[in-house]
Each structure stands twice: as structure tokens, then as C-alpha cells.
Amino acid sequence: MTNARKSREKHRMEEREIIERRMEEEELKYMRENFQVYSCSGTQQHEPNCDRECKIVQLEGIDRDIAEELGKWDEAGMVAVGGVPGLPIPGIPINTFDLDVKIVALINYLVENFAISKEELDKCYAEEKLLRLRSIREANEDALREARAKAHLGIQEPPKPNLILPTGTKLQ
């Protein structure tokens, strides 16, 4: 194969990759705008072991409200996903493993010992999540917007996440 032919083939492959990336970006944009998620993960990202043939599901009710609120967080430049302690990821610091174990144990205890279903707990969780997301964003977005404007004008450095929780606690 000549160098010119190799070069053309490489160029075609790069073009295909660019087109595929653009198509994925357009699909993701459409899903975000229409509050849709993949059935494999419940998010707009496939699970690692997904064959990419899963269904797209329309979010409704409280799930749609939460997705809409998370979109507002994204627009405000805020991060709702917690960072794992010790890693330089902005967000609300959490220990995901301990939190997951505690929540599962609590749910199991409540369902086994009280007249409450998992569905009722899930609904209560979703309502509380939406309430907290809104209150945190509303308490912080004006200050973040002002800091970004100052940074854009060269008045100060870009803001570092320092969210105020509903309890009034500031996170570093």
C-alpha cells in the first residue's frame, strides 16, 4: 500500500470517527432536551457491559423534575455528583460505599419492620432529592454566576466549588 493510499485510508477513518462522535453528541443532546434515559442505566450513559441495544425510556413525574433540576445545575456550572474523599473531583464530599451500605440496610429494615413499601420509600427519596437540589442551586447560583463573570473579565480567578447546603453549612 502506498503512502498516499495509507493517508487517504487514515483520513477516512478519522472522518468516520468524527461523524460517529457528532451523531452521539446529537443523540445525547436530544435525550437531554426530551428527558430520556437508557434503560440499562437509568441515565444518559450506557452501562459498561451494555450491548448498546437497550431501550430509551421517557422520564416522567418526579424523575423528570429531578433531571430538569440537574440540567439547571449544569447550566449554573455546579456539580451535583459527589466527589470521593481524596480525589480532586468537585462536588459534595461523600463516602459512596458507606453511604450505599447504610441506605440499603435502612431500606431493608423499614420494609421488613414497618408497613411501607420500597416504592413509597423511592418516591419519598425522589421528592427529598429534588427539594435539596433546588435549595442548594438557589442558594449558590448567583454567587457562582458573579464569580464567573468577574473571572471572565479578568477581575479574579475562576470560582472553586464552595457550596452552601440547606443546613447553611459551607463545603470546602
The sign of the CA dihedral 157, 158, 160, 161 is positive
Whether residue 38 sits in one domain with residue 64: no
Whether residue 48 sits in one domain with residue 87: no
DSSP character string of 115-141: S--HHHHHHHHHHHHHHHHHHHHHHHH
The SS3 call for residue 145 is helix
Q: What are 109-143's pLDDT values in tens digits?
A: 999 999 899 899 889 999 999 999 999 889 888 88
Which residues are within 8 A (CB) of 57 and not within 5 positions of it... i.e. 6 or more apart? 36, 37, 38, 39, 42
Whether residue 52 sits in one domain with residue 72: no
Number of domains in the chain: 2
Whether residue 85 sits in one domain with residue 41: no
Whether residue 72 sits in one domain with residue 31: no
58: which 3 cell numbers?
421517557
| Gyration radius of the chain over CA positions | 21
What's the pLDDT score for residue 144?
84
Number of neighbouring beta carbons within 10 Å of residue 167: 6
Q: What are 65-99's pLDDT values in tens digits?
A: 988 888 888 888 777 766 555 555 556 666 677 78
- Domain closes at, from 40, 58, 76: 58
| Full domain range(s) for residue 169 | 60-172
Element (H, E) at 56: strand 56-58
Running DSSP on this structure, what letter comes out for residue 158?
P
What's the pLDDT score for residue 80?
72
Whether residue 162 sits in one domain with residue 102: yes
Distance in angstroms (rounded) separating the CA atoms of residues 67 and 35: 7
Distance in angstroms (rounded) separating the CA atoms of residues 131 and 121: 15
Whether residue 72 sits in one domain with residue 50: no
Whether residue 99 sits in one domain with residue 52: no
Distance in angstroms (rounded) separating the CA atoms of residues 106 and 111: 9
- Domain closes at, from 43, 58, 73: 58
Whether residue 54 sits in one domain with residue 83: no
Q: What are 152-171's pLDDT values in tens digits?
A: 888 766 555 566 666 666 65
Element (H, E) at 112: helix 96-113
Whether residue 161 sits in one domain with residue 88: yes
Answer whether residue 107 shows pLDDT above 70.
Answer: yes
Whether residue 128 sits in one domain with residue 65: yes
Whether residue 10 sits in one domain with residue 49: yes
Q: What are 1-41's pLDDT values in tens digits?
A: 688 888 888 889 999 999 999 998 898 888 888 888 888 88
- Domain closes at, from 14, 36, 58: 58
